[in-house]
Amino acid sequence: MVLTGAGMSQESGLRTFRDTGGTWEHYRVEDVATPEAWRADPELVLRFYNERRKDLMKALPNSGHTGLAQLEKYFDVYIITQNVDNLHEQAGSSQVLHLHGELMKVRSTRDPELIYELDHWELNLGDRCELGSQLRPHIVWFGEAVPNFYLAIPIVEEADILVVIGTSMVVYPAAGLVDYARPGTPVYVIDPGEPALGSRKVTLIPKKASEGVQQLIEILTENLDINNEKS
Ligand code: APR
């Protein structure tokens, strides 16, 4: 199981949230990423996500993303990501669970089951679902439930190896996921900064995602019989 955060996509040109120069230095969370913000100023909220979508449409997966996709040759890899970009999918990872929603999807404000794929960057006031109500970003805002968390728990509980990449580990419930691992499960953390690991025992690879994933692949495949690829 690989838990990823904004640092995973930093080398693809997408800003992280809490590093120096990060997104939350440019915007206040409460102005753009809460249900209250949506009620108070939906236009600003839409503009914020339109900018994020525009950036995403210019971005490409980096070698960290592609390295994780290649790991599927040797392991059953489940990616649980806090990222709302689709760079893991673009890199070819086949099992990706998004905890905080997806930037390239929008949904009805009347029926949350009505979810649509966007193939362009812009969502505006007046863009409506088939029931006639305003569309909103398919994003989990602060203060909203995280429904996919309950799908993530059994994946972590069954994992033989945990990998955490590019997340400050301060936003819950996502940051608490690693605590569902069976005792003794090895945990690798790839991050050039100082994620909040608490007293967890981990193997830290203090590198950016691209270089760190290459090192991880070397560690994890070192003792594998190379003829023993998954069929
Ligand atoms: N490679 C790997 N890690 C990196 C890189 C990089 N190139 N650059 C920065 N990092 C690390 C930072 O050191 C930090 O630990 O990525 C982490 C980014 O942390 P945050 O900006 O807090 O992002 P994240 O943990 O994903 O945020 C969680 O908060 O605002 C919300 O919903 C948003 O999903 C997001 C959640």
Name the DSSP class of 126: T
Q: Identify whether the C-beta of residue 108 lies closer than 8 Å to the C-beta of residue 114.
A: yes
Residue 207 CB neighbours (<10 A): 16
pLDDT score of 223: 76
Sign of the torsion angle spanned by Cα atoms 22, 26, 29, 34: negative
Q: Which domain holds residue 22?
A: 2-221
Evaluate whether residue 86 is within a structural domain: yes
Q: How far is the CA of 62 from the centre of ligand 1 (A)?
A: 15
Per-residue pLDDT tens over the stretch 135-147: 999 999 999 999 9
**Tokens 């290459």, residue located:** 214
Q: Identify whether the C-beta of residue 185 lies closer than 8 Å to the C-beta of residue 161.
A: yes
Query: Is 226's pLDDT higher than 90?
Result: no
Q: What total number of domains does the chain contain? A: 1
- Report residues whose beta carbon is within 6 angstroms of any ligand 1 atom: 5-7, 10-11, 16-19, 22, 82, 100, 165-168, 171, 190-193, 195, 208-209
Strand partners, 102: 138
Tell me which residue of 186, 180, 189 sits closest to 208, measured CA to CA.
Answer: 189
**Confidence band for 12, pLDDT divided at 50, 70 and 90:** very high
Q: What mean pLDDT is predicted for residues 105-123? A: 97
pLDDT score of 224: 79
Alpha-carbon dihedral of residues 212, 14, 91, 186, nearest 10 degrees? Answer: 30
Q: How far is the CA of 127 from the centre of ligand 1 (A)?
A: 31
pLDDT score of 1: 98
Q: What mean pLDDT is predicted for residues 207-213? A: 98
**Tokens 């009620």, residue located:** 39
pLDDT score of 225: 67
Q: How far is the CA of 117 from the centre of ligand 1 (A)?
A: 25
Distance CA 62, CA 9 (A): 7
Evaluate whether residue 226 is within a structural domain: no
Query: Is 56's pLDDT higher than 70?
Result: yes
Evaluate whether residue 147 is within a structural domain: yes
Evaluate whether residue 227 is within a structural domain: no
Evaluate whether residue 164 is within a structural domain: yes
Evaluate whether residue 199 is within a structural domain: yes
Distance CA 127, CA 110 (A): 13
Evaluate whether residue 58 is within a structural domain: yes
At 76 the three-state DSSP class reads coil
pLDDT score of 66: 98
Q: How far is the CA of 154 from the centre of ligand 1 (A)?
A: 24
Tell me which residue of 87, 84, 80 sits closest to 11, measured CA to CA.
Answer: 87
Q: Which of 10, 79, 80, 207 to mutate to test the pocket of ligand 1 (most atoms within 8 A of CB)?
A: 10
Q: Could you identify the atom of ligand 1 that is nearest to the CA of residue 5?
A: 26
The overall average pLDDT reported for the chain is 96
Per-residue pLDDT tens over the stretch 145-172: 999 999 999 999 999 999 999 999 999 9
Q: What mean pLDDT is predicted for residues 22-41? A: 97
Q: Could you identify the atom of ligand 1 that is nearest to the CA of residue 23?
A: 21
Q: What mean pLDDT is predicted for residues 174-189? A: 96
Residue 206 CB neighbours (<10 A): 11
CATH number for position 123: 3.40.50.1220
Evaluate whether residue 119 is within a structural domain: yes
Tell me which residue of 104, 162, 111, 153 sits closest to 134, measured CA to CA.
Answer: 111
